[in-house]
Structure 1
Amino acid sequence: MDDYNCQLTESCIKFAEDDIGETSERRTEALIMLKSWLKENPKINANPDPLSLLYFLRACKYDLDRTKENIKKFYKMRSIRSEWFNDRSPLDPHIAELFRIGVFLPLLKKDVDNRQIVIIRTGAHNPKKHKFSDVLKASKMILDYLMFQDESISVYGINAYFDMSHLTGGHAFQLTPTLIKHAVQSWEVYPIRVKLLKFLMVPSHVIWALQIFRSFMSAKLKSRMFISRDTAEDPSRLPVDLGGTESSYDELTVYWREKMESNADFFNRFDKYKTVS
């Protein structure tokens, strides 16, 4: 389509063709069909930007029925989960403080399979001060921005590492079954190819919470979830804080806090997209 500006390398385009079945002709045809479908269903109120639609198409490997269903679920979630998707200002004091803490940290280098690595620091915030819904809100803000800055993530996918060190009973108390269910549901409908969910340094007192997480997952997501009482087996591509050689938590925190503060307009443009009644 004339409004799609491909940002992929030749090797990434080849991978998309081999792994997803994407060709330029198939991509153009699918985008035309989805845009027409969205015009016929205005209440979905989805972002019509080609890159946004391609995230859904690639996550569903160009199965149009699955893609449409996932689009409906995603934008319905954005409408229902107002605590995560409304009033998303990086300058909001509660959100800005979570950015300063560094609860969600995408790495600046990819892994050996070109996948995006993100570190989720589940015990970094103060549970007496910060609501877990705000932690999720801040995390999704960074993820949404990241997805639109790097198209290759829609092809190669993402590996998520959960650093559960410093997790206290107060943190665990925030993880109600309802909140866990909502969090897992959001993972299932987000238009991103989740390749790994690795929970590191898991304290014994929160194993029950991870079992609840797992109970709400699809079979595919369950197969990609792993729990370890220690650090990663091969931490070389991880931050120095996890025994690796990549940027430290402090360095990544400064980088992403500055990115969020300087791109508040992104959320002003993006946050209007959610299902309307």
Structure 2
Amino acid sequence: MGGEYVCTLSPELVQRAKDEINEVPERRAADIEHIRDWLKHQPHINARMDDWTILRFLRGCKFSLERTKEKLDMFYTCKTLCPEWYKNRDPQDKKMRAILELGTFLPLPGHDSQGRKVIIIRAAGHDPKEFTMDEVFKATHMISDIMVDEDEPMSITGVVQLLDMEGVTAGHAMQMTPAIVKKAMTIWQDGYPMRPKGLNYINTPAAFDTVFNIFRSFMKEKMKKRVSNVFSALIGSKNAQECPERKERRPEKMYPSGGKTYKIIDHMRSQGHKYFVEV
């Protein structure tokens, strides 16, 4: 999307936007223009000015103009302070291509029963001897940027992450330093124009709590309440009905097949050149 915003939402999602995030269609253009005018007076922010980019941030902040300004400032500040994640983002680069093909971060096609985007994250998808965590996060954020640019319903319904810990080794755990975790959680919670609705873990190893407690220390209270161990929910706990991956959608059945996995990856990689020319 770009330029002047053209709504692609269903009537149901338009109503949901009114009810859940205070979006008033008749006022939408004025709110976008207010933020655009503010951005023009912020010399330290080199922002995209198109309607859709600004609207994503407004939706992510429930149309609070002040919160939108804060989030935009944080988003572009993070880009400046984290060049290791936001510079030289070429999806055809040999190393980036290799990471993308691992499928460590996969937005699934479509949405779950509550309309949310589901992302599968394979924490052990990369070899820690071959790839640094900064390189993995760079690839992850490249995909995230394309995803939020393309998926308008997600800007209303939010996103759920399914973090698969199967195969995690001490080498993977040692890469998740407090500095890396703090950076990731700050960008995710305070910078991105997403609406995180859940962070769910499966196949957690015995030493999982040590790493998880680092993540938890940087989570806001609202996010802490949205974290769950999906394995317990899947086997019939009282939280089963609240979990987006219910019994009938066990994680092993959610993984795309090999062909579909590469279709997702190829799409993200092919769209990268078009999108990142502006970043």
Query: 1:258 aligns to what?
Result: 266
Shift of 1:230: 5.8
Alignment of 1:243 with 2:252, yes or no, is yes
Greater mean deviation of Cα atoms: 211-220 or 20-29: 20-29
Query: 1:17 aligns to what?
Result: 18
In structure 1, list runs of 5 or more residues that go unmatched.
Answer: 272-277
One-letter amino acid matched to 1:268: F
CA 236–89 in structure 1, closer or farther in 2 if over 3 Å, else same: farther
TM-score normalised according to structure 1 size: 0.91
2:62 and 2:257 map into 1 onto residues whose CA distance is: 34
Query: 1:201 aligns to what?
Result: 203
CA 46–212 in structure 1, closer or farther in 2 if over 3 Å, else same: same
Query: 1:30 aligns to what?
Result: 31
Cα deviation digits, residues 136-178 of structure 1 (max 9, x gap) = 1111111111111111111100000100101011100111111
Do the aligned residues in 2 keep the contact of 1:123 with 1:165 (CA within 8 Å)? yes
Query: 2:172 aligns to what?
Result: 171
Count of aligned residue pairs for this structure pair: 266
Query: 2:277 aligns to what?
Result: 269
Do the aligned residues in 1 keep the contact of 2:4 with 2:52 (CA within 8 Å)? no
Query: 1:93 aligns to what?
Result: 94
Q: 1:43 aligns to what SS in structure 2? A: coil
Which of structures 1 and 2 has the larger relative contact order (alpha carbons within 8 angstroms, sep 6+)?
1
1:44 and 1:83 map into 2 onto residues whose CA distance is: 19
Do the aligned residues in 2 keep the contact of 1:235 with 1:243 (CA within 8 Å)? no
Query: 2:56 aligns to what?
Result: 55
Query: 2:237 aligns to what?
Result: none
Shift of 1:186: 1.2
1:103-114 aligned at under 5 Å gives the runs: 103-114=104-115
CA 261–228 in structure 1, closer or farther in 2 if over 3 Å, else same: closer
One-letter amino acid matched to 2:68: T
Do the aligned residues in 2 keep the contact of 1:116 with 1:153 (CA within 8 Å)? yes
Shift of 1:7: 1.5
Greater mean deviation of Cα atoms: 221-230 or 195-204: 221-230
TM-score normalised according to structure 2 size: 0.90
CA 84–63 in structure 1, closer or farther in 2 if over 3 Å, else same: same
Shift of 1:237: 4.3
Do the aligned residues in 2 keep the contact of 1:169 with 1:205 (CA within 8 Å)? no
Query: 1:80 aligns to what?
Result: 81
Query: 2:243 aligns to what?
Result: none
CA 20–91 in structure 1, closer or farther in 2 if over 3 Å, else same: same
Query: 1:127 aligns to what?
Result: 128
2:150 and 2:175 map into 1 onto residues whose CA distance is: 32
Cα deviation digits, residues 90-149 of structure 1 (max 9, x gap) = 111111111111000111121111000000100111011011111111111111111111
2:247 and 2:129 map into 1 onto residues whose CA distance is: 31
1:237 and 1:109 map into 2 onto residues whose CA distance is: 14
Cα deviation digits, residues 3-53 of structure 1 (max 9, x gap) = 111111111111101111111122111101011111111321111121111
Q: 1:4 aligns to what SS in structure 2? A: coil
Query: 1:275 aligns to what?
Result: none
RMSD of equivalent CA atoms: 1.7
Shift of 1:208: 0.7
Query: 2:225 aligns to what?
Result: 223
One-letter amino acid matched to 1:53: I
CA 198–249 in structure 1, closer or farther in 2 if over 3 Å, else same: farther
Shift of 1:182: 0.6
Query: 1:42 aligns to what?
Result: 43
Q: 1:256 aligns to what SS in structure 2? A: helix
Shift of 1:269: 2.7
Do the aligned residues in 2 keep the contact of 1:203 with 1:229 (CA within 8 Å)? no
2:207 and 2:260 map into 1 onto residues whose CA distance is: 29
CA 51–235 in structure 1, closer or farther in 2 if over 3 Å, else same: farther
